[in-house]
Structure 1
Amino acid sequence: MTTAEADALTVEFAGEEFSVEPGAVFTVGREGDLAIDDNLFLHRNFLTIQNVEGLWLLSNVGSRLSATVTDSGGRVQAWLAPGARLPLVFASTSVIFSAGPTTYELTIHAAEPTFRDTQPPADDDGLSTIGDVPLTHSQRVMILALAEPVLRREGTGMSELPTSAQAAERLGWTLTRFNRKLDNVCDKLDRVGVPGMRGGVRSYATNRRVRLVEHAIAARLVTRDDLPLLDVEHEGSLRGENDLGEDDA
């Protein structure tokens, strides 16, 4: 491997790969090197990738949107707000962000990462948690109903998220029950410091759903393997077997 090959990054999106060479500034947005989508909610220039004194940096050059950045194992997660930048130190870095109702995911691969994971992953005890906050079954399937389009997508790309009404119908729930579960989950995440769970009066209803999906995917709170739970929940709701009195406090 030559020095140039070792220093280069590769950006993967929707089955395509883009090389980023040292000395160049790679732009992601409606326009630029990676023109993602003709989505008016998305900035023309949203993210940039460049090598500064031997260190690769991901910068948010937009004015409104933020991105969730995580390592491939979902163990490290950062919130990249407008004007912020982060070093790209992992072999594989996932970048997840939303513009309007659409959620996007791209992956950045480094040939010679600065950080190498030498610790084996912790044993999975089967309990989904965010910090010290456990997720109940109903909270988990509520998140699954919102994240289903992203989880069913093959690789990186874009997905349209369902509305609360569509997600409630997917589960066989009433909209009132769904919104109560959504409120509880967002409150729990907000209390442990997950950003973006609260917002202004006009934007709160939409923003909390897309931000919840971003966080859930990045933190691996739900995975593709969990998707069969959606059909089980829907069928149980139709038979009246689900526990409507579950305590989500």
Structure 2
Amino acid sequence: MGVRIEFCGEQFQAEPGRPFTIGRVGDLEIDDNPYLHRAFLVVVEEGGLWWLTNVGTTLTATVADDKGLFQAWLAPGARVPLALQHFTVWFTAGPTTYEFDLHVDEPAFTAVFEAEQDDASGQTTVGRVSFTPDQKLLVVALCEGFLRRGGGQGQVPSSAEAAERLGWTLTRFNRKLDNVCSKLADAGIRGLHGGPTKLASNRKARLVEHALSTRIVGVHDLALLPERSGVTTGAPDSAAGQGR
């Protein structure tokens, strides 16, 4: 009985009786990133269950199962039971978002339902939150670097870079980003509400983690982005009024 950790094609094994440390140093050395804690996450067996614990002081992690049925935001000091067979973990340190997988050999529970897929209409619904096509496009643009790499790690673009990618003005991009984050925050998603202690870069990183973990976007959505030809694309503001 144990947990297999997979990161960038490499596999590691956590065994009972010994905590497995993930961070800048440890059993799994993620990256030589000065923004990353030396010891950030720990996989450990306790009371017959495997747990993922955040032992860092500032960074958070997003944890989700592979069925799209469970998602948790792991703040410093928090822990979550690894009671299902497969989890994916995302976290952001500085400008980089990382992803790794956890495979539990003998999970305590088995998922029996699959998450519902979005329909083919223009609206994308996540729980009780509906996104307009422009709002969905914004999320895809923020996740593009990560989706194209196929996991492991990716860069969250600046607002100016994402706006240019979509052929939008920065003002338009920021307005739509505010709307997306407000919708999700109103639905109870933590870490997206802007304020004096939450910079826009942190908010965008949290949005990327949430979008990937809840499958708001996927590789197939890259086709929604305009071609990299220097031609301004995307719906004009008048046509995107529904996205405010």
Q: What TM bracket, shorter-length normalisation?
A: over 0.9
Question: Superposed, which structure 2 residues align to 1:14-163 within 5 Å?
Answer: 14-122=8-116, 124-126=118-120, 127-154=123-150, 156-163=151-158
Give yes or no for contact 2:118–2:124 (8 Å, CA) kept in 1.
no
Q: CA deviation at 1:111?
A: 1.8
Give yes or no for contact 1:171–1:237 (8 Å, CA) kept in 2.
no
Q: CA deviation at 1:176?
A: 1.0
TM-aligned CA distance change 1:123 to 1:148, over 3 Å: closer
SS of residue matched to 1:144: helix
Query: How many residues are aligned here?
Result: 240
Give yes or no for contact 2:124–2:133 (8 Å, CA) kept in 1.
no
User: Aligned partner of 1:164: which letter?
Assistant: S
Q: CA deviation at 1:230?
A: 0.4
Give yes or no for contact 1:9–1:20 (8 Å, CA) kept in 2.
yes
SS of residue matched to 1:213: helix
Question: Superposed, which structure 2 residues align to 1:160-171 within 5 Å?
Answer: 160-171=155-166
Q: CA deviation at 1:39?
A: 0.9
SS of residue matched to 2:205: helix
TM-aligned CA distance change 1:205 to 1:77, over 3 Å: same
TM-score normalised by the chain length of structure 1: 0.91
User: Aligned partner of 2:207: which letter?
Assistant: L
Tell me the alpha carbon deviations over residues 116-163 of structure 1, each in whole angstroms, 9 at most, x when there is no partner.
Answer: 122244354234223322100000111111100111112x31111111
Identical positions, percent: 50
Q: Distance in 2 between matches of 1:31 and 1:199?
A: 31
Q: Distance in 1 between matches of 2:200 and 2:129?
A: 22
TM-aligned CA distance change 1:163 to 1:109, over 3 Å: same
User: Aligned partner of 1:186: which letter?
Assistant: C
Counterpart position of 1:4:
none
SS of residue matched to 2:13: strand
User: Aligned partner of 1:149: which letter?
Assistant: G
Runs of 4+ with deviation above 4 angstroms: 234-237
Gaps in structure 1 of 5+ consecutive residues = 1-6
Counterpart position of 1:3:
none
Q: Distance in 1 between matches of 2:114 and 2:87?
A: 18
Q: CA deviation at 1:198?
A: 1.9
SS of residue matched to 1:194: coil
TM-score normalised by the chain length of structure 2: 0.92
Q: CA deviation at 1:91?
A: 1.1
SS of residue matched to 1:216: helix
Q: Distance in 2 between matches of 1:60 and 1:120?
A: 28
Cα-Cα RMSD? 1.9
SS of residue matched to 1:115: coil
Q: Distance in 1 between matches of 2:67 and 2:198?
A: 31
